Structure 1
């Protein structure tokens, strides 16, 4: 079974305008709302690939109900802990050819709610996959991901981690099976600069060897990605296309890796699918479909370094 965890979900309210004029009334050309949050996005993409998962995390209020109703309508399983405070709303503003974001304030997760959340893993079996994705609310310690990774590993689960900053810096010491930093986050982890592919390989190799992380996939936008792991070191080219929608591209890459890894047990194939999936979402107006990914797959070229 696959579980996705989103500590910080949101309603993503996406608004498109010709131009944004501060201090004036601006009228949108179009807008839409969808259930957001990195783990939820992974569940949504997996669903588009025909793979079932269960979305875990925390929701509250009328905005939380929107998220659960949204997932129920899509027939995606979910088992959230209910909070008294409303789930946040994130505004994604598209104007003048640029994307801007205003992210809402996260609700508080108290000790009782957190303990209730941990019980969701009581029935976890060896071989299950758990995706821990996104930021942590300020009400939780930055060590939460590290603690959960350690607990899940004892249960024999494969842990997929996609976060940044202090939560990532701490969690890598628990040796998750897979991480997907971008090259900026990788540089931040080691408090250094990443100038070229060689720097990326060197730092990713340290994560693989010193922290015993099986799969390190470093995304580099239009430059593709570098994989370092059990099956060696690879540079993967990015498909060509026009970036339209960056939100969810990284989550699509995570879903792509999981989908292909489950089928093939081959890191090269999984990394290729991840790159194609991330690009397919970036080239689309919303999260990618399986058909869109497989149209791009042949463009992802692999060079073994």
Structure 2
């Protein structure tokens, strides 16, 4: 079973305003809302690939109830820990350039986290835990390290798609997969990465430091897969960028779906890149139909 961890989920409220006036009354031309959070996105895309998963994390209040009911309608299994306070609302204002306003989320107590962490003691060898997204301000920066240690005791592999200070320790967790983008990879090694050539030596360092595999997304330039023996490059299919939110999560989900379906590593990588592109070209997370349409456009080569 794949378990996805979203420590600070949200309700993403997406508002389209044709002409925005600061300080004036603005009316939306179109609006919608979805459950947000990187781990949740991974589970939703896995579901579209017919790969089951269970969603873990913290929710509270009426917004938390919305997330649970939404995911249940999509036939996703959840095991959220309930906390006091409301799950945050993130506003995505689309009026030309996209403007985001992210809420803080509820405070999580030490007792809440202890109960949450105990869930991982019931996992079994062969399970995979996807740790993705930000750490709430009320939790310590070593939160993901504690989860990884709990998984290690159960011989459970982890996938890491995190950022900031926590990312610096990610390779030491010996993850099945890491997925930084090229900006995050540069920050890890205090450098600037602008090209495929720039990224290759630093991606190899992730493997040397303990990661089993690493995918580095290069925005419009494609993506790189690093394994213990090889480096692969994948191009990005042609299409109009509609939505960058969730594209990286979709890459992770597509790759894991390929692994679960016992595809070889390069085909899993191809499925990941097609899944990420499908989301980038969609208003919301990409559909399986669009993924299959884009799949032949993704070419993989060793470099």
Q: Could you say whether these structures have the same fold, taking a TM-score greater than 0.5 normalized by the shorter chain as the test?
A: yes
The aligned counterpart of 1:201 is: 200
Give TM-score, length-normalised by structure 2. 0.97
Residue 252 (structure 1) aligned with residue 250 (structure 2):
yes
Deviations 1:148-185 (A, max 9, x none): 22321231212111111101112322222211100000
Hey, what's the Cα distance between the residues in 1 that align with 2:77 and 2:42? 13
The aligned counterpart of 1:154 is: 153
Greater Cα shift, 82-91 or 16-25: 16-25
Gaps of 5+ in 2: none
Residue correspondence of structure 1 range 14-163 to structure 2 within 5 A: 14-96=14-96, 98-163=97-162
Deviations 1:188-213 (A, max 9, x none): 0011111322221100101101x120
Paired positions, count? 303
Q: Is the 8 A contact 1:134 1:162 kept in 2?
A: yes
Q: Is the 8 A contact 2:120 2:150 kept in 1?
A: no
The aligned counterpart of 1:184 is: 183
Q: Is the 8 A contact 1:149 1:175 kept in 2?
A: no
Shift in Å at residue 222 of structure 1?
1.1
Q: Is the 8 A contact 1:231 1:267 kept in 2?
A: no
The aligned counterpart of 1:297 is: 295
Deviations 1:248-282 (A, max 9, x none): 11111110010011113522111111111000001
Q: The residue matched to 2:90 in structure 1 has which SS? A: strand
Shift in Å at residue 143 of structure 1?
1.1
Q: Is the 8 A contact 2:120 2:147 kept in 1?
A: no
Hey, what's the Cα distance between the residues in 2 that align with 1:109 and 1:117? 10
Greater Cα shift, 53-62 or 69-78: 69-78
Hey, what's the Cα distance between the residues in 2 that align with 1:228 and 1:170? 18
Shift in Å at residue 107 of structure 1?
1.1
Deviating above 4 A after TM superposition, structure 1's stretches of 4 or more consecutive aligned residues are none
Deviations 1:2-39 (A, max 9, x none): 11100010000000111221111111001011111111
Hey, what's the Cα distance between the residues in 1 that align with 2:19 and 2:78? 38
Hey, what's the Cα distance between the residues in 2 that align with 1:291 and 1:18? 30
Hey, what's the Cα distance between the residues in 1 that align with 2:300 and 2:149? 33
